[in-house]
A and B are shown apart, each in its own frame.
Chain A
């Protein structure tokens, strides 16, 4: 879809942008955000935000139009382009990051990488550490 007139419709652009925002880390065993197939979810949520009046869609289109060949740039140049564009509208950048972070950290591959089970919270739930008996013992003499 490279060459599309729309940032949200250009999966190659979006993938490169996501990898710029959350690159892979061999040291941490973390995948880059661009290789998880979350572009469509991110695009849909940005479109919904834009419909609700948030400026992120238009702002992203400006990055797309102002940085031809973004996906083919070296990583450092992509980072520089995003940094410069973020400075033009920090609120839009935060809205974009919110959408990217939520999509990324809900992906099963990422959940496993950060030590979480790759499932919804329900129905298994989670174990919770018990109350520290020493703390509870300290309350005993204060009980009314």
Chain B
């Protein structure tokens, strides 16, 4: 292995790393990405096998503490009601995501101005709009233009079919006069860019064997490599190193054989998600940066935001074949998205239509919710549930709180002996009220849709997909970690491009915005390259 110095070194090949690599390749300098996981192969995904549901909850489980693959690192989540989820591979968590692809709304960047809480972002929707659109094209987004909840934009592909589950629940929203709209989904509804369209496998959460669901290993990375970007897999970065003048000058990393290597670089870019990024910064202590790299504000690892989720499901008389189709991509609703203080909380939440589980997980869900007994009554109860479930999740806007943190666990380490992260998180009263409201209104919608039985999980534990806020963006170095274009205030050749830099979380999935930010930061670097070290 050669470790020739490179111009740009990216750490992490997921949603943001892939987008950034593809864009920054135009700079004309050498670009290398180190990824702790391997390339995935669609032939290995669970839906190739009869026991796909078992595999989906084992080696393809979203929780690294359950999966425990060689490329995973453990996360101490004993002090969090929400378990952090992620996947470590080329493509990162886009391998397992549902591919729901909402943008942030303009108001999501102005929370302080609009509602007097949290902070405004130093950039606006208009800043990111030129990057949302090409990102939609690169990922392959299906949707219906004209949603009144958003500034006008045209997804490149027509919307996915709602299916019986989407139709029945959308009718409930329609009867109540509530906003709903077919989702923007990073799942292709037609052949696109050499990829075949969705065939409704119903298992988006364990990898798309068809390749219809966008993950950056099949969207950005092949094109980035064609531009000359090097991608080195199974390489886990231990720490970022700094030169005598306080600049980042490379990394120490463990290669696939567990041998410690040194890689020098002129620019270092972190794309490790809202837990992996602060973990690496905190592990990069030195005489010059005793509290971790880029941490003069003390905010690295603080202000962790999830999206607290509620799940509301109805059981319907008719068979909806509810395991068929994209798992989470039917429609969304912004009916309760903006602040209405009469509800008892600030900000709000979105709903996203969801489907039922596969044959096995339908039984497991029925057991867990007391609807399907074992023994004599099993088959009758199962027949009422399997295929008959439709519902929604509520994604609530989580507000930043410095007490919610990612720190280094004093004991736990990964397989290379690198200190593991510990998550400390308390659900706020505002979030609790949002969730309760979402359950009540969601129940109302499902009853309006004709559900004969409604079940709700008011706080989903295995739902910590969205990891945000732990290296926040801002113009004040005392109150933020990176500036308005992702550059660390303390280290001018260090950039962060993942969800860590979010100032607020909005009430929608973050990946579209994470990737737009990555493209925007790459563009900013290209524009400012002459003054980068001035």
Interface residues of A (CB under 8 A from B): 20-23, 25, 27-28, 30, 41, 45, 79, 82, 94, 97-98, 101-106, 108, 110-111, 114, 116, 119-132, 135-136, 138-139, 142-144
Output the residue of A20, A111, A122, A124 with the most chain B CB within 10 A.
A122
Q: Please name all residues of chain B whose beta carbon is closer than 8 Å to the beta carbon of A136 when the two chains form the complex.
A: 144, 182
When the two chains form their complex, are residues B174 and A138 in contact, meaning their CB atoms are under 8 A apart?
yes
When the two chains form their complex, are residues B161 and A28 in contact, meaning their CB atoms are under 8 A apart?
no
When the two chains form their complex, are residues A121 and B201 in contact, meaning their CB atoms are under 8 A apart?
yes
A94 to chain B, nearest CB (A): 7
A50 to chain B, nearest CB (A): 14
**Stretch of B247-255, B358-366, B399-407, B499-507 that contacts chain A:** B358-366
Q: A98-B364, A126-B325, A131-B166 are in contact. Are A106 and B359 (CB under 8 A)?
A: yes
Q: Please name all residues of chain B whose beta carbon is closer than 8 Å to the beta carbon of A139 when the two chains form the complex.
A: 144, 146, 181
When the two chains form their complex, are residues A122 and B210 in contact, meaning their CB atoms are under 8 A apart?
yes
Interface extent on B, as a size class? Answer: 35 or more
A-B contact pairs, 11 of them (CB 8 A): A94-B367, A101-B364, A120-B48, A121-B52, A121-B201, A121-B202, A121-B209, A132-B171, A135-B167, A142-B148, A144-B151
When the two chains form their complex, are residues B360 and A122 in contact, meaning their CB atoms are under 8 A apart?
no
Q: How far is the CA of A126 from the CA of B363 in the complex (A)?
A: 21
Q: Which 7 A-B pairs have the closest CB atoms?
A: A125-B199, A143-B146, A101-B363, A105-B359, A105-B360, A126-B324, A102-B360
Q: Please name all residues of chain A whose beta carbon is closer than 8 Å to the beta carbon of B49 when the two chains form the complex.
A: 120
User: B147 near A: Cβ within 8 Å?
Assistant: yes
A57 to chain B, nearest CB (A): 17
Q: A98-B364, A128-B163 are in contact. Are A121 and B379 (CB under 8 A)?
A: no
When the two chains form their complex, are residues A25 and B379 in contact, meaning their CB atoms are under 8 A apart?
yes
B372 to chain A, nearest CB (A): 9
Output the residue of B325, B379, B380 with the most chain A CB within 10 A.
B379
When the two chains form their complex, are residues B148 and A129 in contact, meaning their CB atoms are under 8 A apart?
no
Q: How far is the CA of A16 from the CA of B152 in the complex (A)?
A: 61
Output the residue of B144, B150, B199 with the most chain A CB within 10 A.
B199
Task: Please name the residue on chain B nearest to A93 by beta carbon.
Answer: B374
When the two chains form their complex, are residues A126 and B200 in contact, meaning their CB atoms are under 8 A apart?
yes
Q: Please name all residues of chain B whose beta carbon is closer than 8 Å to the beta carbon of A132 when the two chains form the complex.
A: 162, 167, 170-171
Q: How far is the CA of A98 from the CA of B54 in the complex (A)?
A: 10
Q: How far is the CA of A51 from the CA of B379 in the complex (A)?
A: 31
Q: Please name all residues of chain B whose beta carbon is closer than 8 Å to the beta carbon of A98 when the two chains form the complex.
A: 364, 367
Q: How far is the CA of A126 from the CA of B380 in the complex (A)?
A: 25
- Among candidates A114, A116, A128, A142, residue contacting B161 with C-beta atoms closer than 8 Å: A128
User: Which residues of chain B from 373 to 432 have any CB-CB distance to chain A below 8 Å in the complex?
Assistant: 374-376, 378-380, 382-383, 386
When the two chains form their complex, are residues A79 and B375 in contact, meaning their CB atoms are under 8 A apart?
yes
User: B159 near A: Cβ within 8 Å?
Assistant: yes
Q: How far is the CA of A131 from the CA of B180 in the complex (A)?
A: 14
Q: Please name all residues of chain A whose beta carbon is closer than 8 Å to the beta carbon of B386 when the two chains form the complex.
A: 114
Q: How far is the CA of A111 from the CA of B176 in the complex (A)?
A: 37
User: B51 near A: Cβ within 8 Å?
Assistant: yes
User: B47 near A: Cβ within 8 Å?
Assistant: yes
When the two chains form their complex, are residues A135 and B163 in contact, meaning their CB atoms are under 8 A apart?
no
A97 to chain B, nearest CB (A): 5
Other than A102-B360, A128-B325, A143-B146, give 16 A-B pairs with Cβ distance below 8 A: A27-B379, A30-B379, A97-B367, A97-B374, A102-B54, A102-B361, A104-B360, A114-B359, A122-B199, A122-B209, A128-B161, A128-B163, A129-B163, A136-B144, A144-B146, A144-B147
Q: How far is the CA of A132 from the CA of B209 in the complex (A)?
A: 28
- Among candidates B51, B152, B367, B375, residue contacting A23 with C-beta atoms closer than 8 Å: B375
- Among candidates B47, B152, B363, B367, residue contacting A144 with C-beta atoms closer than 8 Å: B152
User: B218 near A: Cβ within 8 Å?
Assistant: no
User: Which residues of chain B from 297 to 336 have any CB-CB distance to chain A below 8 Å in the complex?
Assistant: 321, 324-325
When the two chains form their complex, are residues A130 and B161 in contact, meaning their CB atoms are under 8 A apart?
yes
Q: Please name all residues of chain B whose beta carbon is closer than 8 Å to the beta carbon of A128 when the two chains form the complex.
A: 161, 163, 200, 324-325
Q: How far is the CA of A139 from the CA of B333 in the complex (A)?
A: 13
Q: A121-B203, A122-B209 are in contact. Are A22 and B359 (CB under 8 A)?
A: no
Q: Please name all residues of chain A whose beta carbon is closer than 8 Å to the beta carbon of B161 when the two chains form the complex.
A: 128-131
Output the residue of B182, B325, B374 with the most chain A CB within 10 A.
B374
